[in-house]
Amino acid sequence: MIYSSKPHSCLLYNQGLMPYLDALQWQRSLLTERINNPNLEDVLILLEHPPVYTLGQGANPEFLKFDLDKSEYHLYRVERGGEVTYHCPGQLVGYPILNLHRYRQDLHWYLRQLEEVIIRVLAKYDLQGERISGFTGVWLEGRKVAAIGIKVSRWVTMHGFSLNVCPDMTGFERIVPCGITDKAVGSLAEWIPGIKCLEIRDQIAQCFSEVFGVKLVDSQYRRY
- The helix or strand, by DSSP H or E, that contains position 109, with its residue range, turns out to be helix 107-123
Contact 174/185 with Cβ under 8 angstroms? no
Q: What is the pLDDT of residue 179?
A: 67
* Angstrom distance (rounded) from CA 21 to CA 57: 16
State yes or no: is 197 an active-site residue.
no
Higher pLDDT, 112 or 66: 112
Q: What is the pLDDT of residue 224?
A: 47
Domains of the chain and any CATH numbers: 9-218 (3.30.930.10)
Instruction: Report residue 3's pLDDT band, with 50, 70 and 90 as the boundaries.
Output: very low
pLDDT at 97 over 70: yes
pLDDT at 17 over 70: yes
pLDDT at 212 over 90: yes
Name the active-site residue from 166, 178, 197, 207: 178
* Angstrom distance (rounded) from CA 107 to CA 68: 31
Q: What is the pLDDT of residue 57?
A: 84
Angle between helices 197-212 and 107-123 (to 10 degrees): 130
pLDDT at 222 over 70: no
